[in-house]
Chains A and B, each alone.
Chain A
Amino acid sequence: DAKTTQPPSMDCAEGRAANLPCNHSTISGNEYVYWYRQIHSQGPQYIIHGLKNNETNEMASLIITEDRKSSTLILPHATLRDTAVYYCIVRATGANSKLTFGKGITLSVRP
């Protein structure tokens, strides 16, 4: 079972920042937080991952709380193409381990 909980849905205006929360209160010390997204009819797409430090790449930023029990994915300037289901996944160290998907959060970006 997934070790994360996410709200079922949220929306934001195009051009604004989208902040997607995730709770993972039972995360272990050797587990990473991963974010993937699935745009309609496509396969899941990797976004970002982190252990305890905040991370940023060309797609998004990941903010992890100091106690590591929650995190926030930030899309700094959401576009209509960012409308998708976003999955927060806790994954054990050992990069070849499986991904355990939950229900995810549906982000709707409105014009």
Chain B
Amino acid sequence: EAGVTQFPSHSVIEKGQTVTLRCDPISGHDNLYWYRRVMGKEIKFLLHFVKESKQDESGMPNNRFLAERTGGTYSTLKVQPAELEDSGVYFCASSPDVQVSYEQYFGPGTRLTVT
């Protein structure tokens, strides 16, 4: 069974540019989460999808960040325009139906560098 995959693994962009991160959850997982770790800080929750609906977006830092999950499969996280403080590692995680598992499966992350 394939795990959670994220693309790209690394991205280097200039301040003011746009970047789109992609996450492919484990097949059949309804729950999809985005987290990020910025330099020197803890891993922070960004948002949670259940299928295509946003269940909790309390961690989204500002309106420069837009997350989508059309069709309830893969998800994208767009940062527009990117700022220096957006640099960090962005993790995606997925989990199946709540009655089945309490574990979140994480992808390897996308390292974003804004210069």
Contact = CB atoms under 8 A, between A and B. Distances in A.
B45 interface: yes
A75 B50 CA distance: 34
A38 to B, nearest CB: 8
Q: How large is the interface on A (under 10, 10 to 19, 20 to 34, 35 or more residues)?
A: 20 to 34
Given A32-B102, A45-B106, A46-B104, A95 B45 contact: no
A100 interface: yes
B103 interface: yes
B60 to A, nearest CB: 12
Nearest to A47: B103
By secondary structure, the A interface counts as loop
Contact of B55 (A41, A96, A99, A103): A96
Nearest to B55: A96
A21 B5 CA distance: 32
A62 to B, nearest CB: 13
B93 A43 contact: yes
A98 B48 CA distance: 8
Contacts of B109: 42-43
Contact of B102 (A95, A102, A104): A95
Nearest to A43: B106
Contacts of B48: 96, 98
Contacts of B105: 46
A32 B31 CA distance: 19
A2 interface: yes
Interface in A42-101: 42-46, 49, 87, 94-96, 98-101
Contacts of B102: 32, 34, 49, 95
Q: What 9 A-B pairs are tightest by C-beta distance, nearest first? A: A43-B106, A101-B43, A98-B45, A95-B102, A46-B103, A95-B98, A44-B106, A101-B42, A96-B98
Interface of A: 2, 32, 34, 38, 41-46, 49, 87, 94-96, 98-104
